Amino acid sequence: MHLYEIIKRPIDTEKTRRLAEQGQYVFEVDRRANKLQVKQAVEKIFNVKVEEVRIINVPP
């Protein structure tokens, strides 16, 4: 799976903006991606060090 297939788009709401102030960012990701794939994709795309990945599965 290509990096840009894993990270689909950022989620931009009031709540995610508050989280961003704390250094936490929210993205919509491919349902098939696991935590390691998400971590690697974010690190390569944004050139940052990811400490932790949390995934929530939301029904379509």
pLDDT at residue number 59: 87
Tally helices (H) and strands (E) across the chain: 3, 2
Domain membership of residue 60 (yes or no) is no
For 34, the domain range is 3-46
Q: What is the DSSP letter of 16?
A: H
pLDDT grade for 3, boundaries at 50, 70 and 90: very high
Number of domains in the chain: 1
**What count of other Cβ atoms lies within 10 Å of the Cβ of residue 31?**
10
- The CATH number given to whatever domain includes residue 9 is 3.30.70.330
Domain membership of residue 58 (yes or no) is no
Domain membership of residue 10 (yes or no) is yes
| Distance in angstroms (rounded) separating the CA atoms of residues 22 and 33 | 25
Question: Which residues are CB-contacts of 31 (< 8 A; sequence separation ≥ 6)?
Answer: 57
Residue pointed to by tokens 């379509």? 60
Question: What are the tens digits of pLDDT across the range 30-57?
Answer: 999 999 999 999 999 999 999 999 999 9
pLDDT grade for 60, boundaries at 50, 70 and 90: confident
